[in-house]
Amino acid sequence: MLERQKYELFRSELKKARISSGILQKDLAKLLHRPQSYISKIESGERSIDVVEFIDYCHAVGIDSAKFLKNISEKF
C-alpha cells in the first residue's frame, strides 16, 4: 500500500469513528475547542494531525487511540 493510500485509510477510519459515535464535525470541533473547519481539513487531508491531536480526537469521539492504531496498522 502506498503512503498516500495509508493516509487516506487513516483519515477515512477517523471519520468513520466520528460518525459511528454520532458526533457531527461541528460538535467534535466544540469538544476540541477548534473551528469546524479544523475537523473538515483533517478528514479531507488538507491538514495533517499530530499524535497529540489524534489522541484528543479519539478521546472526544469515545474510542481508544491505541486500539484504533492497532486495527488500522493491521490493514496496512
Identify the H or E element spanning 3.
helix 3-20
Q: Which pLDDT tens digit goes with each residue over 4-32?
A: 999 999 999 999 999 999 999 999 999 99
Contact by Cβ (8 Å): 14, 57? yes
Q: Which pLDDT tens digit goes with each residue over 27-60?
A: 999 999 999 999 999 999 999 999 999 999 999 9
Find cell 471519520 and name the residue: 15
Q: Is the domain 3-73 a CATH 1.10.260.40 member?
A: yes
pLDDT at position 60 is 97
Q: How far apart are CA 20 and CA 39, in angstroms?
A: 16
Domain extents for the chain?
3-73
